[in-house]
Amino acid sequence: MTGETHLVSTIRELRALVAPYRARGSVVAFVPTMGALHEGHLALVRRAQQIADVVVVSIFVNPLQFSSSEDLDRYPHTLDTDVASLAESGVAVVFVPPVSEIYPDGAAITRISAGPVADRYEGVARPGHFSGVLTVVAKLFNIVSPDIAVFGQKDAQQVFLVREMVHDLNLRVRVEALPTVREPDGLALSSRNRLLLPGQRSAALTLSTALRAADAAARRGAASAVAAGVAVFAAQSEAQLDYFDLVDPVTFARITDDARGDAGSDALALVAARVGSVRLIDNARIALG
């Protein structure tokens, strides 16, 4: 398959293409996506190419992880340009299954329970979201049988839960997460950014601005960091804050307001907000003083 991109839509085709690599002990890397690709996705692809002999990228908009049909219908679909970008990047296999291929009997009856962390933060705004995410990720891992799966750290809660699932279910795949890719002005790349209306970009920047403010205040402790992040939204009425909080990056447990920790102790700052009809998330590591 050297130099050629194979576009496949069935599990049988995908497994037939990957099988020869597995038979000779080649390293297979997998990048699961929902399409509407941007430079952040392509950074994941480049990393996968560095660490594997063959790269599989999936494009599948998973209905199980959407809380309403309206949100699902609004998700950007740019399949032709996505496939062209992946081919230009030298991806060996692009897996684009229809919903009926992944869920041939309709919505899956057997689903992965994501545990208590899934009921916080994004789980509050989108009940059942992470159960849908883990179910499709588990199915894709089983279909592709990758050695390594590459995700973006922008979806920090998702990455944490995928790693927990891999550990708890003894799945034979290593999960690697890459730092969030940003525009020069700090805006985290997201497929949903293209849904922003003209003039809403400055409001979208409130998320990354709040993270920087929290980092600057973190030397005074967790409460000061959170207060600084929240305060940024008070000055920007077009960005409606959902949550701003600090968690332990290892356990995803909330860091209490009185926590100060040893100098340089890591915390993960999480933020979600709505700009117009578009819901955006971001996160950043900060050092508590």
Span 169-209, pLDDT tens digits: 999 999 999 999 999 999 999 999 999 998 999 999 999 99
Mean pLDDT across the chain, nearest whole number? 94
Confidence band of 263 (pLDDT split at 50, 70, 90) = very low
Confidence band of 109 (pLDDT split at 50, 70, 90) = confident
- pTM of the predicted protein model: 0.94
| pLDDT over threshold 80, residue 265 | no
How far is it, in rounded angstroms, from Cα 233 to Cα 11? Answer: 46
In the chain, what are the domains? 6-178 (3.40.50.620), 192-288 (3.30.1300.10)
Q: In what order do the strands lie in the sheet with 6-8?
A: 6-8, 93-95, 54-59, 28-33, 148-152, 174-178
Beta-strand relationship, 54-59 and 265-275: unpaired
Confidence band of 73 (pLDDT split at 50, 70, 90) = confident
Percent of the chain with pLDDT over 70: 96
| pLDDT over threshold 60, residue 77 | yes
Strand partners, 231: none
pLDDT given at position 49? 98
Q: Catalytic amino acids?
A: 41
Contact 59, 95 (CB under 8 A): yes
